[in-house]
Chains A and B, each alone.
Chain A
Amino acid sequence: MEALQEVLTEPQQKEAIEMSGSAALLEALIVEGVSTIFGYPGGAIMPIYDALYDYKEKLNHILVRHEQGGIHAGQGYARSSGQVGVVFATSGPGATNLVTGLADAQIDSTPLVCITGQVFAHLLGTDAFQETDVINITTPVTKWNYQITDAEEIPEIIAKAFYIARTGRPGPVLIDITKNAQIQKFAYKGYTPCNHIRSYRPKPIVRPQFIEQAAQLINEAKKPFILWGQGVLLGNAEQEFKAFIEKAGIPAAWTILGVGAIPTDHPLNVGMLGMHGNYGPNVLTNECDVLIAIGMRFDDRVTGRLDKYAKQAKIIHLDIDPAEIDKNVQTTVAVWGDCKETLPLLTQLVEEKQHTDWVNKFYDFADRENEAVIDAELHPTEGEMTMGEVVDQLNRLTNGDAVIVTDVGQHQMVGCRYAKFNHTRSNITSGGLGTMGFALPAAIGAKFGAQDKTVVAIIGDGGFQMTLQELGTIMQSGVDVKILILNNRFLGMVRQWQELFNERRYSFVDIQSPDFVQVAKGYGIAGRCVNERSELQDALKEMLNHQGSFLLEVMVTKENNVFPMVPQGCSVSEIRLK
């Protein structure tokens, strides 16, 4: 309600100022608190870039090397800062290059406002140069999109865009602005942020009877188990979440987008869910009596085979998005609402308890996993280096305080499993879409969003080659990003599946790479490559202590598999340790 008061009492600007649509857009961004824009100019967005020339002091524009890099940087910025990421691109190919990032942001609920230039309104539908129907192309992968053809619309639409992107379940918004609207002068009467749209309810109404029912189930439970996801982070509800699990004494496991809400070392943090998650959380999902899902959406990589998923348990699902309730897993009690509001209500009603024997069961499984998998992965004494030991050595140097950005594949699973997190918003990865090439540009954005943090991008040799042009962005912007390439000379995750399920028929997974250190050198970025275990710690120290960006390539064992693993089509309790 405070926001509403603020807006209503904001003095209306009495006299209108004549202003171009482009300038009005930039004014709007400033009022919205935007400081950094990731973008790439082109013909149809030139008037906006011309206006930007006069706003260089107020708006920091980062010139990327490809629009996909721009949008992933915007995502990284949004994820590390909690603010809306802003991206500029031109029409046609500029706009279509945003599509992968939009899909990624949509599935991972990342707030973005993307501005695309468009051909003059009178040319729409004529196959004009660099015209593409960006509104229709992006409809399935945006929370909302809109085409502006008249400058008068700009203040109101940009206000709606930010409001929609950041409220409720966040998501990407795309605003397409025709060139005539960018140039057009109109009577600008000031900018009023939006705080209400008639047809849009960001948060469902919290219904106390469902909180009471949920609390009753929790209080009666002998073996309750919590699964939490990014909703806890997006709702800024980390403290509320911690208070809830500590009072109720319930073990809690995370999705890869939820990690960091409580520190890795918290005694009730029992680890990672899903296909490559920890042993205990997967097996005990099928043993708990009440399963409490908070701000997560039961992705198939978390649940495995649905008809054998937690069938013995009563399910409580807390989510801000009603469409997620009963989508994949049928709930016993659904608690609709923002977990920032619902968790404290639930905490009030749950009894203070300690499920010591039940929690110990998770620890027992952790011991078995340590023996069977983790010790060998993190502390090998001979042979080639493993991905896990690199992450473990990194933990020792960063103490879990760094922002870790991962790409997609084996290194991502290893990174999420073994990286230590003391802080929220410090694991940034492409979870839902699984976008290779995400990490390098996302790390650039993450650093702009968290300037005081060390940002380490852990990337495979395959994914790095998908967006390595963004080394140019690092060079020109001077952003300090540590790049850690775990090179196994394979597209490792696909190779792992081919080994396990396709009789080692290694079909097009043997990828060659350039000399990454030389490539970095070409961009003026310092680098080093290590082959020997004895050099690893020194090399990691050199990377972290280096002033500015640094690329460290670590040659790791070629044919290592990530375990545990829930094979596709299997139940979570059929998780394999080898």
Chain B
Amino acid sequence: MSTQETAHQGKQEFNITVYTENQIGLLNRIAIIFTRRKINIDSLNTSPSEIDSIHRFTIVIDETEEVVRKVCRQIEKQVEVLKVYYHTNADVIWQEMALYKVSAEVIAEKAG
């Protein structure tokens, strides 16, 4: 989806990247910063980052930049959060991946 398509009332899709310690309960501590302002989280992924022992949250929300900036500062002040960045879709490179399920028989036929 392009930025223009989702833009309404100055809102657009933002990708928030949060680098954190790997700590029980931190997911909730971060999530409630959004729910407190009644912001819907469109997507949330958490996994180990490329840096050993540091985890990364990738959160996608539809909001104004002003609100995103404030939310990011409130996330960044959590004790176990190292750094927060936010980007619009235009700022980041998107890679899309698809997984297709193909019948083995079809492959076998072609191979034959």
Q: Tell me the A residues contacting B by CB distance below 8 Å.
A: 135-136, 139-140, 143-147, 164, 197-200, 321-323, 325-327
Of A139, A164, A200, which one neighbours B32 at CB under 8 angstroms? Answer: A139
- Which residues of B lie under 8 Å from residue A135 when comparing CB positions? 25
Interface pair A197/B70, CB less than 8 Å apart:
no
- Which residues of B lie under 8 Å from residue A321 when comparing CB positions? 77
With A136-B25, A199-B20 as known contacts, state yes or no: A164 contacts B77, CB within 8 Å.
Answer: no
Q: What are 28 A-to-B residue pairs whose CB atoms are below 8 Å? A: A136-B25, A136-B28, A139-B25, A139-B28, A139-B29, A139-B32, A140-B36, A144-B79, A146-B25, A147-B25, A164-B79, A197-B79, A198-B21, A198-B82, A199-B21, A199-B79, A199-B80, A199-B81, A200-B79, A321-B77, A322-B73, A322-B77, A323-B74, A323-B76, A323-B77, A325-B73, A326-B69, A327-B70
Nearest CB on A from B18, distance (A): 11
- Which residues of B lie under 8 Å from residue A198 when comparing CB positions? 21, 82
Nearest CB on A from B47, distance (A): 17
- Which residues of B lie under 8 Å from residue A136 when comparing CB positions? 25, 28
Cα separation A326 to B80 with both chains bound (whole Å): 23
Cα separation A164 to B81 with both chains bound (whole Å): 14
Cα separation A200 to B81 with both chains bound (whole Å): 7
Cα separation A321 to B77 with both chains bound (whole Å): 8
Q: Tell me the B residues contacting A by CB distance below 8 Å.
A: 20-21, 24-25, 28-29, 32, 36, 69-70, 73-74, 76-77, 79-82
Nearest CB on B from A487, distance (A): 38
Nearest CB on A from B35, distance (A): 9
Cα separation A146 to B24 with both chains bound (whole Å): 9
- In chain A, what residue has the closest Cβ to B19? A199
- In chain A, what residue has the closest Cβ to B24? A147
- In chain A, what residue has the closest Cβ to B21? A199
- Which residues of B lie under 8 Å from residue A197 when comparing CB positions? 79
- In chain B, what residue has the closest Cβ to A144? B79
Of A143, A326, A327, which one neighbours B79 at CB under 8 angstroms? Answer: A143
- Which residues of A lie under 8 Å from residue B36 when comparing CB positions? 140
Nearest CB on A from B22, distance (A): 11
Interface pair A323/B70, CB less than 8 Å apart:
yes
Cα separation A282 to B14 with both chains bound (whole Å): 38
- Which residues of A lie under 8 Å from residue B70 when comparing CB positions? 323, 326-327
- Which residues of B lie under 8 Å from residue A144 when comparing CB positions? 79
- Which residues of B lie under 8 Å from residue A164 when comparing CB positions? 79
Cα separation A325 to B69 with both chains bound (whole Å): 11
- In chain A, what residue has the closest Cβ to B29? A139
**15 other contacts beyond A136-B28, A323-B73, A326-B69, with CB at 8 A cut-off?**
A139-B28, A139-B32, A140-B32, A145-B25, A146-B25, A147-B24, A147-B25, A197-B79, A199-B20, A200-B80, A321-B77, A322-B77, A323-B77, A326-B70, A327-B70
Cα separation A258 to B25 with both chains bound (whole Å): 34
- In chain A, what residue has the closest Cβ to B71? A323
Cα separation A199 to B21 with both chains bound (whole Å): 7
- Which residues of B lie under 8 Å from residue A146 when comparing CB positions? 25
Cα separation A155 to B72 with both chains bound (whole Å): 32
Nearest CB on B from A414, distance (A): 33
6 nearest A-B pairs in the assembled complex, by CB-CB distance: A323-B73, A199-B82, A200-B79, A144-B79, A323-B74, A323-B77
Nearest CB on A from B65, distance (A): 12
Nearest CB on B from A334, distance (A): 11
Cα separation A135 to B81 with both chains bound (whole Å): 18
Cα separation A145 to B28 with both chains bound (whole Å): 12
Nearest CB on B from A384, distance (A): 44
- Which residues of A lie under 8 Å from residue B25 when comparing CB positions? 135-136, 139, 145-147
- In chain B, what residue has the closest Cβ to A143? B79
- Which residues of B lie under 8 Å from residue A325 when comparing CB positions? 73
- Which residues of A lie under 8 Å from residue B79 when comparing CB positions? 143-144, 164, 197, 199-200
- In chain A, what residue has the closest Cβ to B74? A323
Cα separation A197 to B79 with both chains bound (whole Å): 8
- Which residues of B lie under 8 Å from residue A327 when comparing CB positions? 70, 73
- Which residues of B lie under 8 Å from residue A322 when comparing CB positions? 73, 76-77
- In chain B, what residue has the closest Cβ to A197? B79
- Which residues of A lie under 8 Å from residue B24 when comparing CB positions? 147
- Which residues of A lie under 8 Å from residue B76 when comparing CB positions? 322-323
- Which residues of A lie under 8 Å from residue B82 when comparing CB positions? 198-199
- Which residues of B lie under 8 Å from residue A143 when comparing CB positions? 79
Which residue, of A140, A197, A199, has the highest number of chain B Cβ atoms within 10 A? Answer: A199
- Which residues of B lie under 8 Å from residue A323 when comparing CB positions? 70, 73-74, 76-77
Cα separation A325 to B74 with both chains bound (whole Å): 11
Nearest CB on B from A432, distance (A): 15
Nearest CB on A from B21, distance (A): 5
- In chain A, what residue has the closest Cβ to B32? A140
Cα separation A198 to B52 with both chains bound (whole Å): 14
- Which residues of A lie under 8 Å from residue B21 when comparing CB positions? 198-199
Nearest CB on A from B66, distance (A): 9
Nearest CB on A from B80, distance (A): 5
Which residue, of B29, B70, B77, B79, has the highest number of chain A Cβ atoms within 10 A? Answer: B79
Nearest CB on B from A213, distance (A): 20
Cα separation A145 to B74 with both chains bound (whole Å): 16
- Which residues of A lie under 8 Å from residue B81 when comparing CB positions? 199
Nearest CB on B from A170, distance (A): 13
Which residue, of A139, A144, A147, A322, has the highest number of chain B Cβ atoms within 10 A? Answer: A139
- In chain A, what residue has the closest Cβ to B53? A198
Cα separation A147 to B26 with both chains bound (whole Å): 12
Nearest CB on A from B72, distance (A): 9
Cα separation A164 to B23 with both chains bound (whole Å): 16
- Which residues of A lie under 8 Å from residue B69 when comparing CB positions? 326
Cα separation A327 to B74 with both chains bound (whole Å): 10
- Which residues of B lie under 8 Å from residue A147 when comparing CB positions? 24-25
Cα separation A140 to B70 with both chains bound (whole Å): 16
Nearest CB on B from A194, distance (A): 11
- In chain A, what residue has the closest Cβ to B73? A323
Cα separation A82 to B28 with both chains bound (whole Å): 31
Nearest CB on A from B92, distance (A): 24
Nearest CB on B from A297, distance (A): 13
- Which residues of B lie under 8 Å from residue A140 when comparing CB positions? 32, 36
Cα separation A136 to B32 with both chains bound (whole Å): 10
